[in-house]
Amino acid sequence: MDILNSILEQPFLSELRNGLFKTKSFIMKKCFLTILFLTLQIPFSWAQSAEYRAKKEAALKEDSPFTKIINRELPATIAYEDDQIIAFKPLRNQAPVHWLIVPKKPIPTINDIEEEDALLLGKMFLVAKKLAAESEIAETGYRLSMNINEDAGQSVFHLHLHLMGGKKLGPMVDQE
């Protein structure tokens, strides 16, 4: 109940509440209560599952598989490397041409980038362009994608850009 009271005491809500409850309009009161209910529900409905959060927290305590590839602790078929970026074949190809383009700086998700990372992210796209040309898919077409957190299926918490092509790719998401 303390959380509810603290939310109701927020200036924008308390002004709204005081103004609405001074009126006798049932519809206005109902709208206010609906907005309040939705405000309380949104953080919970959009949160990651407990299982995913636990997996992510455990993974973040250790070096990612990509960091291990960067450090040559795990083998990989490397297509590109410089002092900031590495690109290699994933363990499970999802298309005839599939590269992972990874910054050497460990950034868990796009949600964790900073303004100082802008050039690094731009360079990832330039590497994708170069690899697409070298893989002879630049003209036929390719897909670049990043999976961020649970709903997108992120399983490695080290930012990476998928470059996929070499065939007609299906829709990005199920078409409903």
Name the active-site residue from 98, 158, 160, 162.
160
Q: Respond yes or no: is residue 158 known to be catalytic.
A: no
First to last CA, the chain: 40
Residue in the structure block whose two tokens are 């002879």: 136
Question: b or e along 119-154 (b: 16 or more beta carbons within 10 Å of the residue's beta carbon)?
Answer: ebeeebeebbebbbeebebeeeebeeeeeebbeeeb
**Closest of 160, 163, 121, 124 to residue 141, by C-alpha:** 163
On whether the CB atoms of residues 142 and 164 are closer than 8 A, the answer is yes
Catalytic residues: 160
